[in-house]
Structure 1
């Protein structure tokens, strides 16, 4: 399954990833400067949330595409076995972000 993000979704995900990238760089600087542990952990948590949100947005888009494809192609578009395989892959993706 190839993921195709709409322009607005792509922009949103990229913005989240860039924000996380900046936050991670900030955390590294804070550690190098010997900043307060609580401040470092707060920024690290913010970066983690940004990455999680980007991941969930990508997974949600994938789910939306799968459902749209099934509706467009009809109920027999995927076999029960391939649906189960898809469900297992999506479950694994969700759990990797948990």
Structure 2
């Protein structure tokens, strides 16, 4: 029988040294989204250099902005999930439910 490998969560550090647990599959998802956003930004730069219609450029900027917000919310949702599952450990690491809520509000 095959042994199942245990997946370990990645740690994301804050400026204060606190750590938020993020599962590897979520981290990979976020990385893929950020790569797509990077491509969108390059496309916007190209549109500007080609003097494309302002309306089209603004539409692409809005799409990239929304995509980046989604990455932030997804990351915080993963952190909140961990925070709720392990409240004492999360609070000790600087991520109480209240702190994660404040981070959500920064994105809104």
What TM-score does the superposition give when structure 2 sets the normalisation length? 0.70
Q: Which has the higher helix share?
A: 1
Partner SS, residue 22 of structure 2? coil
| Structure 2: stretches of 5+ with no match in the other structure | 1-17
Extract structure 1 runs of 4+ deviating beyond 4 A.
none
- Alpha-carbon offset, residue 87 of structure 1: 4.0
Which residue of the partner structure matches residue 69 of structure 1?
86
| Structure 1: stretches of 5+ with no match in the other structure | 71-76
Q: Which has the higher strand share?
A: 2
Task: Please report the RMSD computed on the Cα atoms of aligned residues, expressed in angstroms.
Answer: 2.1
Change (3 A) 1:88 1:66: closer
Which residue of the partner structure matches residue 30 of structure 1?
47
Bigger relative CO (Cα 8 Å, ≥ 6 apart): 1
Change (3 A) 1:9 1:21: same
Q: How does 1:76-95 map to 2 (within 5 A)?
A: 77=88, 86-95=96-105
